[in-house]
Amino acid sequence: MRSVKYSGAGAASEVIALDDVAAPEPGEGEVLVKVGAVGLNPVDVKIRAAAHDFGVIRYSDRPGWDVAGVVAAVGPGVQRWAEGDRVFALAAFPDAAHTLAEYAVVADADLAAVPDAWSTAEAGAAPLAALTAWQALEAAGVREGQRVLVLGAAGGVGHLAVQLAHARGAKVVATASPAKHDLVRDWGAAEVVDYRDDEALAAVEPVDAVIITVDDTLPPRQAVVDGTAVITITGLTEEVAQRLGSWGASPVSRILVKADGAQLARIAELADGGDVVVHLDSRFGLDELARAQERVESGRVTGKVVVIVVPEV
């Protein structure tokens, strides 16, 4: 089978190659997936550029974590899947998963059924970003009637956080560039603010929770009051955490997403109910992975970049 391999640290065009390797075989509690699509995320390009582990996130020269496709075979002990089932997963994260290939082995516990409302491309693009958004909202304790501020609402995690918060019955305030405001409103935001407009940011009223999806970004001071939960998926220095705490934010924490097939299944239910869509910024073939990673690195992505391995398997 064809599989992506990194030759070391460096630019995407210099270190990404395709080669032929034997297809893996599923072991106990594992499923062999014929891969249809794989989403790309900022962590993919960061770890490729560095060629070393990022904390607990494991580097591998065989990359990929997101995956959607069909079941090709099941290992011993797997009973809920059969050959031909459409499945998707965040595989093994933060360990290596090797999903940027024509076949990938995925733990049964990481898998969920692809929602009928989504194409294989949408399902492949969703897992890491959707689970990050879900787990951030869980960490913040977001519930019906609350106000939630999503910083970076047009990005991969951000656009799903807007929708999932809206589905919980929260009122969503979001930041994005003006060209993306209509999209963000379509996703469920009640208020959308230009992140470069200091006057508009200063007018944001207090919120119950803040979800930070963009590096080096803080919420407007007046939006944070006693008890506002601030959850970030990016770096959080001790200095910044202390500043937010002095404003009254509680809790203040950074989360690292975890693979969770049961949570993906709940997101899939919302998708089939019309509450969650995946916005695809662009699609690339497996042999165009360097270009796909360069698109992620551009910082101009709206929604998700996806790599199509086999169209609509």
Residues 103, 22: Cα–Cα separation, whole Å: 10
pLDDT, one tens digit per residue, over 207-230 is 999 999 999 899 999 999 999 999
pLDDT, one tens digit per residue, over 39-77 is 999 999 999 999 999 889 999 999 999 999 999 999 999
> 270 with 276: CB under 8 angstroms?
yes
Reference 259, options 106, 144, 35; nearest CA is 106
Fold of domain 2-126+278-308: Quinone Oxidoreductase; Chain A, domain 1 (3.90.180)
pTM for the predicted model, two decimal places: 0.97
CA dihedral 52, 123, 302, 255 (to 10 degrees): -50
- pLDDT confidence tier of residue 21, bands split at 50, 70 and 90: very high
Residue with tokens 């006693």: 226
Residue 293 tokens, joined: 């990673």
Residues 203, 210: Cα–Cα separation, whole Å: 16
Long-range contacts of 285-288 (CB under 8 A, 24+ apart): 286/2, 286/4, 286/18, 286/100, 286/102, 287/18
Same topology between domain 2-126+278-308 and domain 130-254: no
3-state secondary structure of 200: helix
Q: What is the mean pLDDT of the chain?
A: 97
pLDDT value at position 219?
Answer: 97
pLDDT value at position 216?
Answer: 87
Tell me the mean pLDDT in the region 32-44.
97
Q: Would you kindly state where each structural domain of the chain is located, as residue ranges?
A: 2-126+278-308, 130-254
Q: CATH number of the domain at 130-254, out of 3.40.50.720, 1.25.40.20, 3.30.465.10, 3.40.50.800?
A: 3.40.50.720
- Least reliable range by pLDDT among 135-149, 154-168, 231-245: 231-245
- pLDDT confidence tier of residue 311, bands split at 50, 70 and 90: confident
pLDDT, one tens digit per residue, over 90-118 is 999 999 999 999 999 999 999 999 999 99
Could you say which DSSP state residue 62 is in? Answer: S
pLDDT, one tens digit per residue, over 247-274 is 999 999 999 999 999 999 999 999 999 9
Residue 241 tokens, joined: 């955490």
Residues 216, 308: Cα–Cα separation, whole Å: 32
